[in-house]
């Protein structure tokens, strides 16, 4: 299938993005690795177990009801994170790039909730003073990480380009790095918090920087949403997701007996989850319906009734890939002695490719049947396909006129793969043929008419690049040598159906369970 390489990315270089890539979770890393999934779920389950044990132990010594409420919300939030993570993994078909950032955000939030819960358990205990310091240090570091992940999630959700977010992201990177250094130095400076000899926690003079960083992230997300070209619904929803935690961070700024910012964030995660996967579900359903429609168009365009003529035998087949493309074949009698054969491959996939295929197929048949010179007919088809081709689609095609009495073949190759020919009693070989530009690429291109001679007993094999470019799980291609080996392995090379089935079976065996990314289409003609 002809394709157009496009590279778009909104991922920016940062410590967090590097960490995400190492885990194979972030944008640009392809599918989320199984190892990352298992590790993420294991970390979250461990958080829930440890959090439950700490909570049960704390209940033996009742304390301030606000502290009990905070701990209960922390534990409940962890359960929500685990449930959402499991739900996301069970619906990976809808998990796109921003969903992967979302998974990382859930894992980070779950661990931060555990650190918050632990900080309350160890507070006001001289015995656990060191654990209190450690829990609060990790809590502050986790808060920076959560804010940073929220920014990256917003960038991906709004589908921003790298050039649009590079400067603010670099600034946020630098600010995060400064805060991390200050937090790590807190044991010596007491800038963010202190824990006295009795194990009692108190805010430090720079505590406001943690809240300030979160608010800067929130403001940056609002500005990003305003500038983005995304829908108003997506912009408003994204701002609303992070507005509640940001508001609570301000409202509880001076409170040392109530910490509900991160537990409230889990509610936002729940809303995000429902929004993302509901939208993805609708999009997936629509995409599936479009593919079904494209597959119907493609299948209906291909004739399954092959000519019954003593002078030749013909067979063709098309095995579509997972994403429907635009491969097609055609055959018809131009006059009593001339058989027209077409093998073509449209760029792109889905409904646009299927519709372009129908247009190309109809034009080819109409102009070739018109009786004009084949080169002139293909030139006319090209001009028609170029007219109004706003999507810049194109089609490669090999079109031949076979005189079934004399074996003379007049053909035009418009950027297509060359055919393979098997002389009577011989072996298949790829017949290199001069190729012109693809159809639909440029107007007023003259297409050259060429000839080749077949004899009685010869076989002509046409195919699309889905055959030689089929790949195994390691990405190694099938190539022409394997195709020729399969062609020549056919027990009856004078039987077009046997020839095509032998090649298809060999291609499928070679792929051995790997995804089929292109249609496998072929047509074979044998002269009696």
- Is residue 5 scored above 80 in pLDDT? no
Token readout for 122 is 């160890």
Residue with tokens 């955000």: 105
Q: What is the torsional sign of CA 38, 39, 40, 41?
A: positive
Alpha helices (runs of H) in 185-260, residue ranges in sequence order:
186-189, 208-227, 232-251
Check residues 312 and 288 and name the one with the higher pLDDT: 312
Say if residue 243 is exposed, middle or buried (CB neighbours under 10 Å; 0-12, 13-18, 19+): middle
pLDDT band at 414 (very low <50, low <70, confident <90, very high): very high
**With contact defined as beta carbons under 8 Å apart, do 518 and 490 qualify?**
no
Arithmetic mean of pLDDT, 328-335: 94
**Cα separation of the two ends of the chain:** 32
Q: How many residues does the chain have?
A: 528
pLDDT band at 503 (very low <50, low <70, confident <90, very high): very high
Of residues 175, 167, 119, the one with CA closest to residue 148:
175
The mean pLDDT value of the chain amounts to: 81
**With contact defined as beta carbons under 8 Å apart, do 203 and 190 qualify?**
no
**Could you please report the per-residue DSSP string of 244-299?**
HHHHHHHHTTT-SS---HHHHHHHHHHHHHHHHHHHHHHHHHHHHHHHHHHHHHHH
pTM over 0.75: no
Q: What 3-state DSSP class applies to 343?
A: strand
3-state secondary structure 407-441: CEEEEEEECCCCCEEECCCCCCEECCCCCECCECC
Q: CA dihedral defined by 29, 34, 35, 41, rounded to 10 degrees? A: 110
**What is the rounded distance in angstroms from the CA atom of residue 46 to the CA atom of residue 113?**
12
Non-local CB neighbours of 417 within 8 Å, separated by 6+ positions: 396, 398, 463, 464, 465, 468
pLDDT of residue 255: 55
- Is residue 8 scored above 70 in pLDDT? no
pLDDT of residue 6: 32
pLDDT band at 434 (very low <50, low <70, confident <90, very high): confident
**What is the rounded distance in angstroms from the CA atom of residue 96 to the CA atom of residue 19?**
18
**With contact defined as beta carbons under 8 Å apart, do 514 and 472 qualify?**
yes
Q: At what angle do helices 479-489 and 496-511 cross, to 10 degrees?
A: 130
- Is residue 13 scored above 60 in pLDDT? no
pLDDT of residue 121: 87
Strand ranges of the sheet holding 312-319, from the earlier edge strand across to the other edge: 312-319, 520-527, 459-463, 420-422, 429-430
CA angle 141, 143, 147 (to 5 degrees): 120
Which range scores top for mean pLDDT: 206-220, 366-380, 402-416? 402-416
3-state secondary structure 302-340: CCCCCCCECCEEEEEEEECCCCCCCCEEEEEEEECCEEE
User: For residue range 263-282, what is the model confidence (pLDDT) as tens digits?
Assistant: 667 766 766 666 655 555 55
Percent of the chain with pLDDT over 70: 79
pLDDT of residue 304: 83
DSSP single-letter state for residue 471: B
**With contact defined as beta carbons under 8 Å apart, do 221 and 197 qualify?**
no
User: For residue range 36-83, what is the model confidence (pLDDT) as tens digits?
Assistant: 778 888 999 999 999 999 888 877 665 667 777 888 888 888 888 888
Question: Facing residues of 341 across strands?
Answer: 331, 400
pLDDT band at 435 (very low <50, low <70, confident <90, very high): confident
**What is the rounded distance in angstroms from the CA atom of residue 71 to the CA atom of residue 119?**
10
């Amino acid at each position: 299938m002809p394709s157009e390489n496009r590279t778009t990315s909104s991922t920016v270089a940062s410590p967090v993005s590097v960490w995400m890539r190492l885990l194979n979770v972030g944008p640009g890393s392809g599918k989320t690795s199984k190892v990352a999934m298992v590790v993420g779920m294991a970390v979250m389950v461990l958080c829930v177990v440890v959090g439950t044990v700490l909570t049960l132990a704390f209940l033996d010594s009742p304390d301030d009801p606000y502290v009990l409420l905070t701990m209960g919300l922390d534990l409940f939030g962890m359960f929500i994170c685990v449930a959402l993570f499991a739900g996301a993994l069970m619906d990976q078909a809808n998990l796109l790039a921003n969903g992967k950032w979302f998974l990382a955000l859930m894992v980070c939030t779950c661990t931060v909730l555990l650190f918050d819960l632990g900080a309350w358990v160890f507070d006001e205990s001289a015995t656990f003073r060191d654990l209190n310091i450690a829990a609060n240090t990790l809590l502050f570091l986790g808060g920076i990480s959560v804010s940073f992940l929220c920014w990256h999630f917003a960038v991906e959700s709004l589908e921003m380009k790298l050039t649009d977010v590079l400067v603010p992201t670099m600034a946020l990177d630098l600010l995060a790095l400064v805060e991390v250094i200050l937090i790590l130095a807190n044991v010596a400076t007491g800038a963010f918090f202190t824990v006295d000899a009795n194990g009692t926690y108190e805010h430090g003079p720079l505590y406001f920087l943690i809240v300030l960083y979160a608010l800067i992230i929130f403001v940056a997300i609002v500005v990003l949403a305003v500038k983005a070209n995304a829908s108003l619904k997506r912009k408003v929803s994204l701002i609303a997701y992070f507005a509640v935690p940001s508001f609570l961070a301000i409202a509880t700024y001076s409170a040392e007996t109530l910490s509900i910012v991160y537990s409230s964030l889990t509610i936002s995660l729940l809303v995000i989850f429902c929004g993302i996967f509901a939208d993805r579900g609708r999009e997936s359903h629509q995409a599936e319906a479009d593919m079904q429609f494209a597959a119907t168009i493609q299948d209906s365009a291909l004739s399954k009734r092959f000519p019954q003529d003593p002078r030749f035998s013909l067979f063709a087949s098309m095995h579509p890939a997972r994403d429907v493309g635009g491969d097609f074949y055609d055959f018809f009698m131009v006059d009593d002695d001339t058989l027209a054969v077409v093998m073509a491959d449209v760029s792109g996939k889905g409904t646009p490719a299927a519709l372009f295929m129908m247009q190309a197929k109809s034009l080819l048949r109409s102009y070739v049947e018109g009786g004009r010179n084949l080169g002139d007919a293909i030139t006319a088809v090209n001009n028609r396909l170029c007219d109004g081709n706003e999507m810049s689609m194109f089609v490669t095609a090999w079109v031949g006129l076979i005189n079934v009495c004399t074996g003379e073949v007049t053909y035009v190759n418009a950027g297509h793969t060359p055919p393979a020919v098997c002389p009577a009693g011989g072996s298949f070989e790829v017949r290199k043929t001069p190729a012109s530009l693809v159809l639909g690429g440029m107007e007023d291109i003259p297409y050259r008419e060429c000839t080749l001679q077949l004899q009685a007993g010869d076989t002509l094999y046409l195919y699309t690049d889905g055959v030689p470019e089929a790949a195994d799980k390691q990405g190694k291609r099938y190539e022409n040598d394997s195709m020729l080996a399969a062609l020549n392995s056919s027990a009856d090379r004078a039987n077009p159906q046997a020839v095509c089935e032998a090649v298809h079976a060999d291609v499928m065996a070679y792929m051995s369970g790997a995804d089929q990314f292109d249609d496998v289409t072929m047509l074979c003609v044998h002269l009696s």
